[in-house]
Amino acid sequence: MTAYRIWDAIASIPALSQESGVRMMPSDFFFPENIENDAKQSSKMAEIMMSGVRGFYRGSDIIDDRGVDPSYGAVDAYELMAPIIDTDKAMGWLTSLVESKGARLVTETIENDLIEVEDALRARFGADVIVNCTGLQSLKLAGDKSVYPIRGGLIRVINDGTMFPKLNAALTITADAAHSSNEIVFLVPRNDNILLIGGITEPHKWDLDLTLDSPIIRRMRERCDKFLPGLKDAQLDPDYPLAQGLRPFRGSNVRVERELRRAGSKIVHSYGHGGAGWSLSFGCAQDVAMLVDEALAGVPARPMGWRPSGRGRREITASL
């Protein structure tokens, strides 16, 4: 919930919301059966209700209110307020933020495992600590053979109210809720009158060669059109109709941990966030900052999982 609270705070300040591309918006989750009939989903809903999210509401009337086709099979739903992030705008804002705090950005390629070049890199840049946030490249830079991609794709359509009623809420049926494949319904408005239509998850697919005519993309569009019939008339974004990318997963869990293979190393790792990078962002950043402090203080590195939850948390909203 760390990132949720910080994004919510950012969105609550109009000028900062506009500058960062972050706003809070209703986010609706739909289910093909009564939630209580699915122990996993029931437990997840209870956890969400207790987490402190804003605007939680549960009711099947959400289905009709959002114009979901009754024949699609959604029978239960709940809603909460969630941060919707224009990621292109937010990345520009974050870049400017760290530069304003004195960061110097350098773009180059590193081919070796970081423990092989740690000393040289630290000497070259005058760095006390190296933080590895290289996502999929941690397969090589951290020697982590469990790292793998999950390819995703999204269709971008114009969401200005001209061709279909403007959608002002995110709508989702996840694969686990539908007990189906990894092809889901995922509709998310962007802050620039663009609606993202998705989605797909293809593990271990490295190539970014999808097109609008790819069978999995055609099925994705058909699935979403069936779920929300008004989308059949949606106009593609002429400048950027299809977005695709690789989500950086790993075999076990997100890795936020100091380097363990070399005694005395001052490398801190933060990778494997999959499709949850924005959701985990500030929470992982706090943990990284704590690990950096430990490395500088000469505290021996320990594996993930030993540290009590919440220990050493930093307050970071005031510095934004």
Specify binding-site residues for D-dopa: 247, 275
How many Å apart are CA 261 and CA 166, to the nearest integer? 53
How many Å apart are CA 249 and CA 246, to the nearest integer? 9
Which residues are CB-neighbours of 41 under 8 A, at least 6 positions away?
31, 35, 176, 177
Q: Where are the beta strands (DSSP E) in 262-313?
A: 267-271
CB atoms within 10 A of CB 292: 17
In three-state secondary structure terms, 224 is helix
How many Å apart are CA 10 and CA 318, to the nearest integer? 10
Which residues are CB-neighbours of 133 under 8 A, at least 6 positions away?
270, 271
Is there a contact between 229 and 222 (Cβ–Cβ < 8 Å)? no
CB-hemisphere CA count at 13 Å for 226?
A: 13
Binding site: which residues? 134, 247, 275
How many Å apart are CA 232 and CA 170, to the nearest integer? 18
| One-character DSSP codes across 6-52 | HHHHHHTSHHHHHHHTEEEEEEEEEESS-GGG-HHHHHHHHHHHHTT
Binding site for FAD: which residues? 134
